[in-house]
Amino acid sequence: MNNKMDIVEIELICVIVNYGMGSKMLKSAKHHGIHGGTISLAKGTINSRILDYIGLSDVRKEILYMVADKQTANQALDKLNEEYKFCKPNHGIAFTTSISAAVGMSCYKCDQLDKERGEEATMYKVITVIVDKGKAEDVVDAAMKAGSKGGTIMNGRGSGIHETSKLFSMDIEPEKEIVIILSETAMTEAIVTSIRQDLKMDEPGKGIIYIQDVNKTYGIYK
């Protein structure tokens, strides 16, 4: 007897679109088999230095995160691509990465945590950099020196046990910025090295970098 809840491969779908498009795209995704998603506010940084001159450097973005089995994810993204034309400039970027399990969703089991995945060659990586607030543009600058075309910035806050300060006897958690950079696999090492050197990431408290394989992409331009 087959168990419909047994999902071997689960994908995280990430779609970066202009502000105001996230809810509309999530509604479309639900029609194509996606159960739900989370929308975060962010800003784009591609060509930000040029846009500074015309007052458009702060390009508001929304990042839509969704989880689905691999087949559903690929089919849904194909449909979203047909509808929203990621192939056209400024219509958005979409990519998928692999995750081991989804917890808290009744349609997926969480017994895949220790399962080994086969090694597959990927054309792109997603580089995620977490730094103190005000350092995100420096991260993007360092990445662009190594050939990156830009990134997307989100706000966050730290929760490390050594990172809080006191104000009126209250713990204040430092604000953080999260930079998401899509990179060709061959360029990833150079981009990461540039960020590490310029931001002194090997020093305590300077930030965190992690890299993930990207399985499928839409809207990427060379």
Residue 122 contacts residue 213 (beta carbons within 8 Å): yes
Say whether 90 sits in a helix, a strand or coil.
coil
Say whether 107 sits in a helix, a strand or coil.
coil
Residue 103 has pLDDT above 70, yes or no: no
Mean pLDDT of 118-135: 83
Q: Any residues with CB less than 8 A from the CB of 196 and at least 6 apart, and which? A: 202, 209
Q: Which domains does the chain have, with CATH numbers?
A: 10-99 (3.30.70.120), 124-218 (3.30.70.120)
**What is the spatial distance between Cα 159 and Cα 190, in angstroms, rounded to a whole number?**
30
Cα 111 off chain centre by:
25
pLDDT digits (tens, 9 = 90+) for 192-216: 999 999 999 999 888 899 999 999 9
Supply 184's token pair.
């060709």
Higher pLDDT, 104 or 137: 137
- Give 96's pLDDT tier (boundaries 50, 70, 90): very high
Residue 159: what pLDDT?
Answer: 56
**What is the spatial distance between Cα 112 and Cα 127, in angstroms, rounded to a whole number?**
24
Mean pLDDT of 10-28: 93
pLDDT digits (tens, 9 = 90+) for 32-70: 999 889 899 898 775 555 444 444 445 789 999 998 989
- Give 168's pLDDT tier (boundaries 50, 70, 90): low
- Give 77's pLDDT tier (boundaries 50, 70, 90): very high
pTM, 2 dp: 0.75
Q: Tell me phi and psi for residue 39, to 5 degrees.
A: -115, 130
Residue 127: what pLDDT?
Answer: 94
Supply 61's token pair.
């973005």
